[in-house]
Chain A
Amino acid sequence: MLLSLSTTVQPATDLGYLLVKHPDRAHEVELPFGTARVFYPQADESRCTAVLMLDIDPVGLVRGRGDGEGSLSQYVNDRPYVASSFLSVALKRVFGTAMAGTSKGRQEVADAPIPLEAEIPVLRCRGGEELLRNWFEPLGYAVDVERLPLDTRFLEWGESYYVRLRLSGNVRLRDLLTHLYVLLPAIDGDKHYYVGNDEIDKLLEKGGTWLSAHPQREAIVGRYLRRHKPLVRAALARLLDDEEDEIEAQEVRKEAVEEAIERPLSLNEQRMNAVVDVLRDLGARRVVDLGCGEGRLLGLLLKDRQFEHLLGIDVSLRSLDYAAQRLHFDRMPPMQRERITLAHGALTYRDRRIEGFDAACAIEVIEHMDLPRLPAFERALFGFAKPPSVVITTPNSEYNVRFPALSAGKFRHPDHRFEWTRAEFHAWADGVAERNGYVVRYAPVGVDDPEVGPPTQMAIFTRDAA
């Protein structure tokens, strides 16, 4: 909400001409979301400082009468106090002439690099000082960052994401304003308006020349467009005068590299393939995938005609919607579409819809349940649905020491309620088999490390014929 611009060009008061705001007056501009004010704390020959202060209406910020849905964060938040996309809009509206680089009386000053400073007292920056340096230093600024405390009474709560940012450099005013216009909202990471296609145009208009040369351009574009992938891709393509396909190809190449480095990703594929192989060997025709998530396993199973009917169950409606999209339900041929059903359900309740299948899988699912709820899952699946075969996979916690990125004692996923060693998993699965009339065997997924075992462990239960 607050930003100051200073210069020490001689005479410094020329800043008033460039900004088209007289230093000896207080200026006020009405904006849709509040009021912008401009005043000068200092204006003499040696130094002149203009302050843009934005008074955002916190109550009006909440659309309508505010009697609808939403979380409290809608009502109690930092938006009125930080430099964000609101400030960008204000910059453009209040200093539009300066940003365009035109000046009636001082065109030569507007065209020349002059000693300029900008100070933003409160900027939310999750990326920290490093990001600010990486983004501003290539543009020719000296960067001074001061981290603001979160709450001095409760130091144990840690530091805040807020910084006081000071930039100084010998640049044209129009460049400084443009840089701030693009980078402030990207640093803040939140947009107060809907991010659509016209955002690309705005970005190109303001960042066309300098942004394409910026070493951090992908990151900047990504954050500016709030990580909206298709938009990011289109924007980058236009920025670099490239074909979209080429960008796509680059991304794919990148992902391949990432996959090679990032073991969990390839692990996921290995896991899915292992499960498909098992199901194929079991001769299963009707398969229910419990906790199907976004439908990765279902997608693989659909490709094999052995699997005549597939049912995916998940407790997250959002995941199911996404699965339907990923599997292209809308354009799947009817013959194919009839083979697969998605349904909302929870595994701790008995569910008659999962009865009558040849095999059930719960792939990386049990570790998302609280341990005391496992007996309910066991009864619902092994006690009631009783499919002839069940495939269950879960992380092998012994292997965690092989993940360099994982600190000791941590789980692989924040929602994991437990991760088991091989012995722990076997103890549970042996018990399940014993109690419910199944025999169980185990298979590794991924490289079976001689010391700590495979990254993922799999149990294959088959109902005891005797």
Chain B
Amino acid sequence: MTIRIPQLSLVALIGPSGSGKSTFARKHFLASEVISSDACRALVADDENDQSATSDAFDVLYYIARKRLAAGRLTVVDATNVRPEDRKRLVELAREYHVLPSAIVFDLPERVCQDRNLSRPDRDFGPHVIRNQQQTMRKGLRGLEREGFRNFTVLKSVEDVEAATIERTKVWNDRREEHGPFDLIGDVHGCRDELVTLLERLGYGIGGTREAPQVTAPEGRKAVFVGDLVDRGPDSPGVLRLVMHMVGNGTAMCVPGNHDVKLQRKLAGRDVRVTHGLAETLEQLQAEPEEFKREAAKFIDALVSHYVLDDGKLVVAHAGLKQELQGRTSGRVREFALYGETTGETDEFGLPVRYDWARDYRGPAMVVYGHTPVPEAEWVNRTICIDTGCVFGGKLTALRYPEKELVSVAAAREYYAPIKPLIPAEDAMTAQAREATLLDLEDVSGKRVIETRVFRTVTIREENSIAALEVMSRFAIDPRWLVYLPPTMAPPETAKDGDLLERPQEAMAFFRQEGVASLVCEEKHMGSRAVIVLCRDAATAQRRLGIGDDGRGVLYTRTGRRFFNDRDLENALLDRLDLAMEHAGLWDELQSDWIVLDTELMPWSAKAQELLREQYAPTGAAATSALSAAGEWLAAAAARGIDVQGWQAQNASRHADATRFVDAYRHYCWSVNNLNDLKIAPFHVLASEGLMGLARDHRWHLDVAGRLAATDAALFRQTRHLYVDLADEASVAAAVQWWETLTAEGGEGMVIKPVEGLARGKRGLLQPAIKCRGREYLRIIYGPEYTEPQNLERLRQRGLRAKQSLAIREFALGIEGLQRFVDREPLYRVHECVFGVLALESEPVDVRL
């Protein structure tokens, strides 16, 4: 005998003690799929027969069952389940998680059970126990279906049990094997003409007659109707004929809408209120033969409430579907799919207020739905409503999947007057903006595991996300602006000897060893990192980023703070950048009306005032004053003939160190009185419409940056650079030579990158860049006297692993977030990555690296 069990089901094994349930379960199910009450008794009481522990044991059993069902796993409950009240709890549990309850009944002769128990010394209860259990069970068997077990099997003999096999069946809504491509079509409501035009535009061939249509689909494609084929519009029967034909010949799939279901109920003779356009449909149907009406009713009745398609990546339901209901089966799933959920309130038009499930949607599957007419189909998280109110004079819309393209046909006219105007109030925020203000704490808090496409999974620990939450919420700009935070950068392996800690040689050796052929060395500007988001105008910022009235762009720091508190200055800078973009022809070339740039803003003193006034300048002042006073006193003592020459030499050397330290920081400072005192050096185009810049090679980035600088040399500074062919020793030597020159002039140093943007080495993604900082610059980092030989030797013992690991994880997260932004993924998906970078920055790593 074959027992059919839905793939996702709660299976109750029913039978007295000794009826062979556990043995059966072992044979047909995974050990982890079976939860047995005996095992749970043992868990809580160390004895699987301790009846006093039964209540606690069942708490554990239900708890585990809940976790499994919530995760969508088949669960078998191995307990006697002979009393209706025991089974009632299981049915409730199944309904709670929208899975089908199934039962397998072990109604064996009493003798068999008694014999088996006698052979088990741990079961020392009397024979009456089994007798009672069996009687109770048999009394209830007839009611099983009424209890909710529409799917049950009774095994009556040992032979039955032996011969039984289990077949796991798919549920109706599971059409994961359908990979499309699909054309998902919004609410038609009897607008047959618009539907035909739309289908033709999508490439379908519509032939035959209205009564006997003949439809062919473009190669491999299939239409999917999101329901509400009928009511209100001019030709509901015509639409039904067309769709029934398409579903019949395999060119379409269809889920039912609430209007379709209501029509079916009316046709089936049920008492329904003839409102909301049903009257029009019924009138049109009068001209149709009875045969057609029967077929239509049958067709609608057979429709499945929703479909899970393409390996679970696409879900189609008329009114949409929450994640926890997808692929599930229950009355509530059907209700939600047909009508959505309401909050219990009514709006000013007397219509029920709908629960905006899409706003809270965080599931991985794309959900396409209709039901609620909207002026434009818009993405909200990973959902889209494609009911654009054709029958109300809007348009009929299709979504091409997986292309995510929208195709629309305008309604020939308004066929039905809407109760609520279709056009939203002027000040209503766009869906994107609305969504954006809705970041949920659960989107960022706690331990997080983020999949990145260029690297592996990045884990954010809870303590780091706690730290990031404080910084993010107290100091960072609006998360809608914050599409990217730059990663930290690792230095090269420490030079083993000589008077330097860092040199280009080690960096180049690293890349050569990893199989990289060509590098670019870029001068490292010493200022403050500034990410610039610029839109052509405030309307673009609103449309693309969902920013309401916060200007056309922003400059922010590496921790997400607004760079300038002076908005006029910020605006002036953004205007200059816009002009430069225009003159350099970059707006046209990028085919974008927004851009995100990675830049260094100089001077250092513009942003680092506090640091300079509180830390660097004081250290320099104290050091030079103290060492010069000491020098004078030592000189006087030496003049007296005291043997202090050694101390004098040492003091002189330290004094020189202190002076060089002051020179080092002064090099990066100048007074800023107006815009022209600022210098911006762009070095990466992070993103523009459709473009994830970090995937491009650095020749391109430097070319764009160079064109900006050439256009407005007063504000933009070139990033000097040198390409290196690692196979050519002269080229390598030239790079070293250039670094020496740069750093001798007081420059910070250089950044060495593989020319290709995303370089992979022997073990996967490589460091995108390595910074080689100059000897003088490092005084700012390691202190004035770090170059004294005894200090330098100790400082060579620096561990780089943590920094390297951090740099690559932050880089991967940054790219991930940018890519998501470019792909127009929901804000919470972008913010998760940006927040992750900030959180990683709170990991303990030597700050001097």
| Contacts from A to B (Cβ < 8 Å) | 1-2, 4, 24-26, 37, 39-43, 49, 51, 53, 55, 58-59, 65-73, 75-78, 80-82, 121-122, 124, 148-151, 153-154, 156-158, 160-162, 164, 315-317, 344-353, 368, 370, 372-373, 375-376, 379
Interface check B478, CB cutoff 8 A: yes
Interface residues of B in 613-659 (CB under 8 A from A): 613, 615-623, 625-627, 629-630, 632-637, 640-644, 647, 650
A154-B437 in contact (CB<8A): no
Per-residue CB contact flags for chain B residues 465-505 toward chain A (1 = under 8 Å, else 0) read 01001101110011000000000000000000000000000
Give which listed residue, B613, B643, B783, contacts A76 with CB less than 8 A.
Answer: B783
Interface check B211, CB cutoff 8 A: no
B636-A77 in contact (CB<8A): no
In the A-B complex, the 6 residue pairs with the smallest Cβ-Cβ separation, listed nearest first, are: A41-B636, A346-B473, A121-B629, A78-B622, A81-B622, A81-B626
Considering the chains assembled together, what is the distance between the CA atoms of A462 and B135 in angstroms? 61
B637-A40 in contact (CB<8A): yes
Considering the chains assembled together, what is the distance between the CA atoms of A358 and B613 in angstroms? 49
B473-A26 in contact (CB<8A): no
When distances are taken between beta carbons in the complex, the residues of chain A under 8 Å from B643 are 25-26
A350-B621 in contact (CB<8A): no
A65-B797 in contact (CB<8A): yes
Starting from the known contacts A26-B637, A41-B634, A153-B666, 5 additional A-B residue pairs (CB-CB under 8 Å) come to A148-B622, A154-B666, A154-B671, A346-B469, A346-B470
- Knowing A68-B844, A71-B847, A346-B473, the reply to whether A375 touches B437 (Cβ < 8 A) is yes
B791-A352 in contact (CB<8A): no
A124-B622 in contact (CB<8A): yes
- Knowing A26-B647, A157-B613, A317-B466, the reply to whether A148 touches B437 (Cβ < 8 A) is no
Give which listed residue, A40, A75, A160, A347, contacts B782 with CB less than 8 A.
Answer: A75
Nearest CB of chain A from residue B236's CB, rounded to whole Å: 38
A350-B440 in contact (CB<8A): yes
| Contacts from B to A (Cβ < 8 Å) | 437-445, 466, 469-470, 472-474, 477-478, 548, 550, 562, 605, 609, 612-613, 615-623, 625-627, 629-630, 632-637, 640-644, 647, 650, 662, 666, 669, 671, 780-786, 791, 794-795, 797-799, 802, 844, 846-848
B550-A66 in contact (CB<8A): no
When distances are taken between beta carbons in the complex, the residues of chain A under 8 Å from B794 are 59
A156-B671 in contact (CB<8A): yes
Scoring B634, B641, B802 by chain A CB atoms within 10 A of each residue's CB, the highest score goes to B634
8 A-B residue contacts at CB 8 Å?
Answer: A2-B629, A41-B634, A42-B636, A68-B846, A154-B669, A162-B625, A375-B548, A379-B438
B473-A348 in contact (CB<8A): yes
- Knowing A70-B847, A121-B626, A315-B470, the reply to whether A349 touches B620 (Cβ < 8 A) is no
When distances are taken between beta carbons in the complex, the residues of chain A under 8 Å from B478 are 370, 372-373, 376
* Nearest opposing residue in chain B for A368, CB measure: B474
- Knowing A75-B781, A315-B473, the reply to whether A345 touches B621 (Cβ < 8 A) is no
Give which listed residue, B640, B662, B799, contacts A67 with CB less than 8 A.
Answer: B799
B629-A317 in contact (CB<8A): no
Nearest CB of chain A from residue B745's CB, rounded to whole Å: 18
* Nearest opposing residue in chain B for A160, CB measure: B621
A72-B781 in contact (CB<8A): yes
A162-B783 in contact (CB<8A): no
Nearest CB of chain A from residue B788's CB, rounded to whole Å: 9
A160-B618 in contact (CB<8A): yes
* Nearest opposing residue in chain B for A350, CB measure: B440
Considering the chains assembled together, what is the distance between the CA atoms of A78 and B782 in angstroms? 13
A162-B618 in contact (CB<8A): yes
When distances are taken between beta carbons in the complex, the residues of chain A under 8 Å from B671 are 154, 156
* Nearest opposing residue in chain B for A156, CB measure: B671
A76-B441 in contact (CB<8A): no
B637-A315 in contact (CB<8A): no
When distances are taken between beta carbons in the complex, the residues of chain A under 8 Å from B784 are 58, 76
* Nearest opposing residue in chain B for A378, CB measure: B437
Nearest CB of chain A from residue B548's CB, rounded to whole Å: 7
When distances are taken between beta carbons in the complex, the residues of chain B under 8 Å from A353 are 441
Nearest CB of chain A from residue B573's CB, rounded to whole Å: 18
Nearest CB of chain B from residue A62's CB, rounded to whole Å: 9
B441-A351 in contact (CB<8A): yes
B615-A2 in contact (CB<8A): no
* Nearest opposing residue in chain B for A154, CB measure: B669
* Nearest opposing residue in chain A for B613, CB measure: A157
Considering the chains assembled together, what is the distance between the CA atoms of A329 and B273 in angstroms? 61
A81-B633 in contact (CB<8A): no
B662-A151 in contact (CB<8A): yes
When distances are taken between beta carbons in the complex, the residues of chain B under 8 Å from A59 are 783, 786, 791, 794-795
* Nearest opposing residue in chain A for B443, CB measure: A349
Considering the chains assembled together, what is the distance between the CA atoms of A11 and B537 in angstroms? 84
When distances are taken between beta carbons in the complex, the residues of chain B under 8 Å from A75 are 781-783, 847-848
A78-B618 in contact (CB<8A): yes
A372-B666 in contact (CB<8A): no
When distances are taken between beta carbons in the complex, the residues of chain B under 8 Å from A158 are 613
When distances are taken between beta carbons in the complex, the residues of chain B under 8 Å from A68 are 844, 846
When distances are taken between beta carbons in the complex, the residues of chain B under 8 Å from A65 are 797-799
When distances are taken between beta carbons in the complex, the residues of chain B under 8 Å from A40 are 637, 640, 642
Considering the chains assembled together, what is the distance between the CA atoms of A70 and B785 in angstroms? 20
When distances are taken between beta carbons in the complex, the residues of chain B under 8 Å from A153 are 666, 669
B634-A150 in contact (CB<8A): no
Considering the chains assembled together, what is the distance between the CA atoms of A316 and B445 in angstroms? 14
When distances are taken between beta carbons in the complex, the residues of chain A under 8 Å from B620 are 151
When distances are taken between beta carbons in the complex, the residues of chain A under 8 Å from B625 are 81, 121-122, 148, 162, 164
When distances are taken between beta carbons in the complex, the residues of chain B under 8 Å from A154 are 605, 617, 666, 669, 671
Scoring B473, B619, B785 by chain A CB atoms within 10 A of each residue's CB, the highest score goes to B473
B637-A151 in contact (CB<8A): no
Nearest CB of chain B from residue A458's CB, rounded to whole Å: 23
When distances are taken between beta carbons in the complex, the residues of chain A under 8 Å from B615 are 72-73, 76-77
A42-B640 in contact (CB<8A): yes
When distances are taken between beta carbons in the complex, the residues of chain B under 8 Å from A349 are 439-441, 443-444, 473
A69-B621 in contact (CB<8A): no
